[in-house]
């Protein structure tokens, strides 16, 4: 696995996990924590955040990182 994919996976997993935790905390007003993590929709949303994080956030932050290295 090349360094770009390692970077994208690391960035995407962190971003997706943080977003899922934040959204879970916002939803505590409506549903309990146990109700949220026991539903299929929670895991589908978690997977969605991870995929968005890896493929979009990771890719565009990698492009920025490469661009900044070229400018130095």
- The pair of three-digit structure tokens given for residue 61, joined into one six-digit string: 């932050």
pLDDT of res. 43: 94
In this prediction, residue 21 has a pLDDT band, given cuts at 50, 70 and 90, of very high
Parent domain of 12: 3-71
pLDDT of res. 61: 93
pTM, rounded to two decimals = 0.82
Angle of CA points 21, 51, 11, to nearest 5°: 70
Domain count, the chain: 1
- Report residue 47 CA to chain centroid gap: 9
- The pair of three-digit structure tokens given for residue 25, joined into one six-digit string: 């905390």
- The pair of three-digit structure tokens given for residue 28, joined into one six-digit string: 């505590």
The string of pLDDT tens digits covering residues 32-48 is: 989 988 999 999 999 99
Residue 1 gets which letter from DSSP?
-
Work out the end-to-end distance of the chain between its first and last CA atoms, rounded to an integer number of angstroms: 26
pLDDT of res. 1: 80
Sequence-distant (6+) residues with CB within 8 A of 5 are none
């Amino acid at each position: 696995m090349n360094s770009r994919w390692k970077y994208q996976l690391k960035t995407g997993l962190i971003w997706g996990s943080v977003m899922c935790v934040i959204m879970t905390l916002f939803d505590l007003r409506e549903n309990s924590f146990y109700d949220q993590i026991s539903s299929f929709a929670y895991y589908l949303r978690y997977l969605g955040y991870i995929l968005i994080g890896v493929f979009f956030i990771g890719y565009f932050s990698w492009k920025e990182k490469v661009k900044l290295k070229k400018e130095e």
